[in-house]
Amino acid sequence: MALPRRTDGHVPGPRCPVRCTVTGALLAVAVLVALTLEIFVFNLPTWQTAFDERPSAQIILGSGVSYGDDGRLVGAEEAEGNEQYVEIRTDSGASIDYLNVTVLPLNAERWATETDHHGQTKSKPDVVSFDVLTAQGNGTTTTWYESTAQSTVSNATDRAGYVHVAARSSAVRLRFHAGADQPLGIDEITVNPRIPFAFNAVRALLVAGILAAMVLLRPGSELYRMRLFDGSRRRCAMLAVPVAVQILLCVVAWQAAGGSDSFRGIQEQSAIGGHDFDWDQYANLADALIHGHTNLSLEVPPELSALENPYDAPSRYDAISAGMTPVYWDHAYYQGKYYSYFGVIPAIIAYMPYQLITGKWLVTSIAVLVFAVIVLVAAMALMVAIARSFFPETASVGATVMMYFLFTMGTFMMCQVTGANFYSVPGLSSMMFTLIGLSLWISAKRPTRSGGVSSTKVFLGSLCMACNLGCRPQFVLACALALPLFWNEIVHKRLLFSKRGLLPTVMAIVPFFLVFLPLLAYNYARFGSFLDFGSNYNLTGFDMTNINRPLRLMLPVAMYYLIQPPSIQGMFPFFSSPGTPLDLWAPNEPAVGGVIMLMPALLAVLLVARLRKREDRTMFAVAISCLVLAAAVVFVDAEMCGYSWRYYLDFTWLLLLPLTFVVFSIDAERKDRDAVSWTPYAKCVMTFLVVSLFVAALAHFGLLFMTSRYYSVMELNPVAYFQVADWFLMM
């Protein structure tokens, strides 16, 4: 019987049951490894303590610790020879491997009369930190060796009080740093407790999922043999799986960082100079627009207007200390009124409809999650649009899924999702509009029945791109990609900016007028200028109306954005802030590491030169334009905003778009379209990308729980933090 032939004349190769068997076997091994790690590695403390001796021990209090009036341990002012420590010494000389420290519920008592936004009594877990010192000696002398990092225990979970010592020492000191008469926060201490076995399904599934992803995306996977566009709807269903996985992980990370319970209402007298935080700034803006005014309905203290320069931070701090309140942080203050300088479009498309329909204010953390989910879906739409327009015959499911994971993780939108406050709304909404707009523009290039570009898609794409001005203006630079993207249609085919292309030309331009003109009028109504967006009137840590930072700081800050190595530590959460030292002042937040170090796959962008060899050089032109724009955004952010993790979103997508072209072009270099047969060069690059994806996944996990960053999980949701910290008790 003759083999069925494709319409292009290519004879498909027979399916390879051997390779399917190999993939299945590797997946089975991945599951087996995950179960082995779960039972014997993550539960190692159970096996270590199952037969341990539970020795009797004596508790010795340092001279800086005493019992308070309520019988609890309290500290004294530290002085030489007056250390605040609790010493645990076994009577038999047995080694102390683990301790179980019981933490007192001080916060529950402190907040017993306060309620949260649900009307429930507040109950924030207590967290206690201390240094661990172990005794070593030869019987005649004893030397105390101090840990280089603090240990942290809590009453957040039943297992949050365990401390792994394992120093072959029979005496351990826990040294505290409490103020005078302040409770140490601990009650009982158990030596070498029996730690119960705990099979954690989430942990096992996470490990199995990571290993399975590496198996399925390895260069020899069957996914690279599956053509993305083979007329089968099953391919679309397959692409829904990675999208669902990323959405699930996004929701889990969002919930771990407090979910809908975080960033609500007004936080009074914060640690930042006593300013108040209005976490409902966007909802307040929507409410103001509904009621016909552009200023926020927030009380303005008369002392603020009386200040000679209300934007000068030290003067404002002094006035707040003298009783001026409320003063709202990161709000625009202009002529005696508060305004929001953040983009207004999210308030119009999300907050206003929600309030008009429900009569309630939309919770910002929920809005952030919704925007993030749309971004995850739009990212896959962009991958498919690129594959369909530029690689219709060669794009594989494997390359599409690989690039989707690289793209969604490489944007570092996790920073916005886990810090789900009003700072995250403009960036995520702009990312949403940009990805949708680019998808529509790229799809519009495919010839219609009349032989031209799709006017409808051009119009909708331009509308989305124009909306960036009302979200995060940095993304407006993405509009410049229209020129290289439609160069052939403009110059060679004359399908745009010509009599033949009059309709699509009008449809491309009109949306910018429809969006820009109302936004400029909105600026004029607030600040008396069409081009004044109000950011310079921001009440923040420096005077933005009178700031002149030297341009030479742009280079070191750009280095921190791109190539700074992360600070890795050998204990959970494995990442700490590497610091961003500058010899002059600039806005500066805790760093996490450069994007290239956290996502090594970005190095493959250097391969864009290979795109010049293609007959259609549109991708090469777009890729080079993206790199130029990325450099511009990095330096503009470095100059205007300083360093902040959340600004990674501004430029990472401009690096990931050229990477997408590179990955699909390498995917096209398989020797046989219907077989997993790579050239040595292509196989090497794809292997590097798989390893990079694994590194990025580990980095995201560590950064999620890093305690030194703003809005850490430890701060927002201690229960989730200690639940995950328990996974690594064996370390």
Q: Is 580 helix (H, G, I), strand (E, B) or coil?
A: coil
Q: How far apart are CA 536 and CA 528, in angstroms?
A: 14
DSSP letter at 396? B
Q: Regarding predicted confidence, which is higher, 107 or 154?
A: 154
Paired residues of 121 in beta bridges: 115
Q: Which residues contact 125 (CB under 8 A, 6 or more apart)?
A: 107, 154, 155, 156, 160, 718, 719, 722
599-648 pLDDT, tens digit each: 999 999 999 999 998 878 899 999 999 999 999 999 999 998 899 999 99
Instruction: Output the pTM of the full model.
Output: 0.92
pLDDT band, residue 232 (cuts 50/70/90): confident
| Residue 525 burial class via C-beta count within 10 angstroms: exposed 0-12, middle 13-18, buried 19 and up | exposed
User: Angle at which helices 648-667 and 397-410 pack, to 10 degrees?
Assistant: 160
Q: Regarding predicted confidence, which is higher, 236 or 274?
A: 274
Q: How far apart are CA 487 and CA 84, in angstroms?
A: 72
- Can you give the pLDDT at residue 673? 56
Q: How far apart are CA 649 and CA 478, in angstroms?
A: 13
Residue 18 has pLDDT above 50, yes or no: no
Class of domain 52-191: mainly beta
Q: Is 146 helix (H, G, I), strand (E, B) or coil?
A: strand
Q: Map out the domains of the chain as residue ranges.
A: 52-191, 218-258+363-728, 266-358
Q: Regarding predicted confidence, which is higher, 288 or 104?
A: 288
Q: Regarding predicted confidence, which is higher, 241 or 490?
A: 241
Q: CA of 70: how far to CAs of 111, 172, 181, 725, in Å?
A: 18, 26, 12, 32
- Can you give the pLDDT at residue 342? 97
- Can you give the pLDDT at residue 407? 98
548-597 pLDDT, tens digit each: 778 888 999 999 999 999 999 999 999 999 989 998 888 889 999 999 99
pLDDT band, residue 675 (cuts 50/70/90): low
User: How many percent of the chain have pLDDT more than 90?
Assistant: 71
Residue 51 has pLDDT above 90, yes or no: no
647-661 pLDDT, tens digit each: 999 999 999 999 999
Q: How far apart are CA 224 and CA 395, in angstroms?
A: 9
Residue 633 parent element (H or E): helix 618-640
User: How many percent of the chain have pLDDT more than 70?
Assistant: 92
Q: Which residues contact 138 (CB under 8 A, 6 or more apart)?
A: none
Q: Tell me what the mean pLDDT of segment 478-484 comes to.
A: 96
- Can you give the pLDDT at residue 234? 82
- Can you give the pLDDT at residue 601? 97
- Which of 619, 612, 709, 616 has its CA nearest to residue 664? 619
164-176 pLDDT, tens digit each: 998 889 999 999 9
Q: How far apart are CA 728 and CA 721, in angstroms?
A: 12
- Can you give the pLDDT at residue 89? 94
- Which of 130, 180, 175 has its CA nearest to residue 153? 130
688-708 pLDDT, tens digit each: 999 999 999 999 999 999 999
pLDDT band, residue 4 (cuts 50/70/90): very low
Residue 721 has pLDDT above 80, yes or no: yes
Highest mean pLDDT among 116-125, 408-417, 579-588: 408-417
Residue 382 tokens read as 């962009």
- Give the residue ranges of DSSP H helices in 360-492: 364-390, 397-410, 414-418, 424-444, 455-466, 482-485, 487
- Can you give the pLDDT at residue 116? 55
